[in-house]
Amino acid sequence: MITTDFVPGSPCWLDLGAPDVPAAAAFYGAVLGWDYESMGESEDMEGGMFRKDGKIVAGLGKLTEEGARPAWMIYYSVADADATTKAVERAGGTVRVAPRDLDGWGWMAQYTDPSGGQFAVWQPGKNKGVELVDEPGSLSWTELYTTDAAAAKEFYGGVLGWQFSDMPLPGDGGTYSLVTPAGLPEERMHGGLMEVPADALALANGRPYWHPVFAVADCDAAVATVTEKGGSVQMGPADMEGVGRLAVCIDPSNADFVVLAPVES
């Protein structure tokens, strides 16, 4: 489960780069019950925060990187962004955005893993991360689709200290690797990674990619709203034993995410 103590290696923040900020705010507001709080608009910057029940759950910004696709970026908490950057480079990854101090709120950096998957880290300052997780309308899981699971485990295990445990998927679905922060029990697992063929990664032109899983009270109702508001469904809704009912969705700008109504514990 994801918590807000944000131990090193755990997901602590996420934001969406969207070509149309007001449209994205309206879409996710309808699907996940979020309220959007603008941080101001200028020629160089447009964006703000999403809140659920008054608590910050994600960020939203104007997609400005040339050639980039609309997508969610997931940030993992680290004790030292500079040290993490060196670890990324030693492990064969690349630095997309070097560590930068965001006015004392924290230090962020963005990277690409050796296979092409993009992710980010956050070294906390005054801000530790999102304020609500693992509740309806908030982040409950993170997931990587990759063409090389073994290489991904080696890279992320070395850079972020993750522990992995493998479980078979139903039928001939392959193996799903569960991710837990270093030194913590499996009850604190926060994500997973799955090996898929390159042709299953069309959204990112064959490159691996991360996406967020958002908890919802009713998966089918969330999916109905996704399609009603101009999004689409890539997979589901489907029941996953021991997990819940989920669907892989695409928003109107082609950013992917998952909605999950978890099984009651």
The answer to whether 217 and 228 have CB atoms below 8 angstroms apart is no
Domain check: are 80 and 151 in the same one? no
Domain check: are 109 and 188 in the same one? no
Task: Give the chain's domain count.
Answer: 2
The CATH number linked to 67 is 3.10.180.10
Domain check: are 179 and 117 in the same one? no
Please state, for a pLDDT cut of 70, what percent of the chain lies above it.
98
> CA of 62: how far to CAs of 118, 167, 179, in Å?
18, 38, 30
- What was the pLDDT predicted at 17? 95
Residues 101-120 have a mean pLDDT of 95
Residue 89 has φ and ψ, to the nearest 5°, of: -65, -40
Is residue 190 a part of any domain in this protein?
yes
Predicted model pTM = 0.95
Is residue 129 a part of any domain in this protein?
no
In the structure, what pLDDT confidence band is assigned to residue 92 with cuts at 50, 70 and 90? very high
Domain check: are 109 and 219 in the same one? no
Is residue 3 a part of any domain in this protein?
no
Domain check: are 111 and 144 in the same one? no
Q: Give the Cα separation of 30 and 216 in Å (integer).
A: 12
Domain check: are 120 and 178 in the same one? no
- What was the pLDDT predicted at 153? 97
The boundaries of the domain holding residue 182 are 139-262
Q: At what angle do helices 219-228 and 21-32 cross, to 10 degrees?
A: 150
In the structure, what pLDDT confidence band is assigned to residue 133 with cuts at 50, 70 and 90? very high
Domain-terminating residue out of 63, 96, 124? 124
- State the average pLDDT for the chain: 94
Domain-terminating residue out of 124, 154, 185? 124
Please state, for a pLDDT cut of 90, what percent of the chain lies above it.
85
- What was the pLDDT predicted at 41? 66
User: Which of the two residues, 169 and 119, has the higher pLDDT score?
Assistant: 119
> CA of 258: how far to CAs of 30, 97, 102, 214, 262, in Å?
15, 26, 29, 6, 12
Residues 196-223 have a mean pLDDT of 95
Is residue 21 a part of any domain in this protein?
yes
Is residue 6 a part of any domain in this protein?
no
Is residue 131 a part of any domain in this protein?
no
Is residue 4 a part of any domain in this protein?
no
**Six-digit token string for 55:** 């608590």
The answer to whether 9 and 182 have CB atoms below 8 angstroms apart is yes
Domain check: are 181 and 229 in the same one? yes
Domain check: are 110 and 40 in the same one? yes
Burial class (CB in 10 A: 0-12, 13-18, 19+), 66: exposed
Q: Taking phi first (over 0 means left), then psi (-120 to 50 degrees means alpha), and beta for anything else, what does residue 134 get? A: left
Domain-terminating residue out of 124, 149, 169? 124
Domain check: are 160 and 113 in the same one? no
- What was the pLDDT predicted at 65? 81
Nearest Cα neighbor of 212 from 162, 146, 123, 144 is: 144
Domain check: are 95 and 145 in the same one? no
Domain check: are 200 and 110 in the same one? no
Query: What tens digit of pLDDT does each residue of 216-262 get?
Result: 999 999 999 999 999 999 998 999 888 999 999 999 999 999 999 99
Domain check: are 162 and 255 in the same one? yes
Is residue 132 a part of any domain in this protein?
no
Residues 20-32 have a mean pLDDT of 97
**Residue ranges with strand state E in the chain:** 11-18, 35-41, 46-52, 55-62, 71-77, 94-101, 106-112, 118-124, 139-146, 163-168, 175-180, 191-195, 209-215, 232-240, 244-250, 256-262
Query: What tens digit of pLDDT does each residue of 37-56 get?
Result: 998 765 556 899 999 999 99
